Structure 1
Amino acid sequence: MKLATKLIHAGAEPDPSTGAVMTPIYQTSTFVQTAPGQHQGYEYARSQNPTRFALERAFAEIENGKYGLAFSSGVAATDAVIKLLQPGDEVIAASDMYGGTYRLFTKVFEKFGIKFHYVNMQQADNIVPFINSNTKLVWTETPTNPLMSIVDIAAIAAITQKHSILLCVDNTFASPYLQNPLDLGADIVMHSATKYLGGHSDVIQGALMMNDTALRDQLYFIQKSCGAVPGPQDCFLVLRGIKTLHLRMQRHCENGEQVARYLRNHPKVGKVYWCGFEDHPNYHIAKKQMRDFGGMLSFELKDTSIEAANKVLSSTRIFALAESLGGVESLINHPATMTHASIPREERLKNGLSDCLIRLSVGVEDVEDLIADLEQAIG
């Protein structure tokens, strides 16, 4: 199937009992058995649920994978991947990444004896000096949150495969519409399905996609045993969201480009981070591994004071000041005090995340209204 057809039909089959076109919401905690161990494939809803299984089939299909798993949040999906490891194992992680991932790694898993190395992965070879016999996982995201750094997935995969190291790619910012890391050599793809896959800011959910059967079985065991599963209503909402991903992402990309170019030409804006600019670091890689450049971008004013940034953050009327991203509505965010507040200030500054950085999730509204809103807010 072509991409749009796949997104609409992934995981969906008419309900065999009624012929319903849309997957039913199986709002049940348990399933009857005709005798001990004799059932129709479903025993208990933490382990199996028909609505969730339909979504997991869809997850696999849209990332060109064999298997998908749904979790109660993106962080829960990340948590499951790290639970593949043991005390003494080491992880090479991108230095520029979502603050919640950094918090999970540093505040939770370091206490259990897992060591993390934070590396700038804009050059794939940067990870090589950190590889040793204990290295079991490389964790990266591209484009990164919030500096829009681009990582060459195929180049990183070539290194991890050579050393028999798992590679997990957070594909949340790109979505399967723009990029498919499994096709580029990744072992696991992670999404915060809360964002573009759901697309309407009404659900919290995470996803993992993979090809290897043994890896899927390990992650399913963790999912079932640790219990961070989404409810059937949430699964229904994400199934519905996936059906319009291509339509929404096309408008996100169109609006994102116009907003990025507007900001770059604004006399009061100092720097714009958007991976579609030809002078953006690793633009050539983004152009090679992505179908378009998305609706996520960040910028800094020439006046780098916190007061100037706060004025903009508090003055927009269409861009809502809120955490999260990827919904149909446009959001404005201050990473230093919101999504990345868990990262120590000195670490943020070292990675290039300034206190005055403003992040935009450009929605699907009329772009003229979005630009006018930024115009009046920046002044």
Structure 2
Amino acid sequence: MKIAVMKQTRQNQGLKAARQGVSAAAAVLALLLWATPLTAQPLSDMPADGSDDSIAAETPGNPLSDGFSNDLPAADHAPVISAPDYPGRTAPGVAFSERAAPAFNSFSGADGQTPAVRAMPQAAALPVVVELFTSQGCSSCPPAEAMLAMMAQDPQILALAYHVDYWDYLGWADIFARPEFTARQEAYARAAGERSIYTPQMIVAGRDTALAPGPAQMMGLIDAARYRPAMVTVQREGDGLNGAIEITPLSDLGGRVDVSMVRYLPEREVEVTAGENRGRVVTHVNIVQSVETLAAWDGTAPLRLTIRPGESASDQPPDTRHALLVQQMLMPYGLPGPILAAIRLD
């Protein structure tokens, strides 16, 4: 699916959510998940953003398009420091830059036809994003993916699975892994001041994570994200991949905000024949295929995106889904920060 996006700025420019309960099955899955060790890996020097030439972004008159870079600080000049003692297999060392941005992310430890225009109240219609970093080569990950699958059934949660490639050397190459997803996880780690990356890892709203969270703690992080004051409002004209979206700031957004298109597959089953999950049939949900930055926005005036299907729609599986992420970027290195809004397009 090729998306052409046209952006223009204009000078003119709720919080109530039903808390979702956690079933007994989720609790069992959580026990299975956290009875298995996490696996940690050193950071590598990769770009902070993935690129996908199947999306074209046209941003006429965008003063920010040429003024920002998503490049991470070079890790090859950074000292090598010891990784923390995570349970299970831990990487021997981590290349990490002393110049990395400060830890702004609050990472915590353990435990028919629609009307032409419609407003989307922040709490009622905009889901909380939960990002899982996972791998088919990680024996700890299937229970975490089962938990993510349960979250994906909640319309108030946008669950996304990013498959990383740093465990491929163990004997099984994850067919959904992309180096840019590893780079995204590394960028989150740098933004948080973390010294290693590991699987499985869940990050809520781009800002909160925890080592070995149970279901109650995960729902606590999600509820905290739901009840934070809204930073933007969203209006849509049309539906799906046809129409326009306008994002309006409610306060100072603190600098650069990226609007990115995420493509993902709803569900796939994979038979793993080698590596740590040899002999298992693993079910994946909401498998991210690509993330493409459509606009860099300064957040000082409303941003309007016009979306239409492109010519190469047949290149994507017919069940491909699309969402927009509106995410603060931590300067000067363009590291990912809080996700201010998520918008399902189909």
Q: Could you say which TM-score interval applies, normalised by the shorter chain?
A: under 0.3
Which of the two has greater strand per residue? 2
The structure showing larger relative contact order (alpha-carbon pairs under 8 Å, at least 6 residues apart) is 2
TM-score by length of 2: 0.28
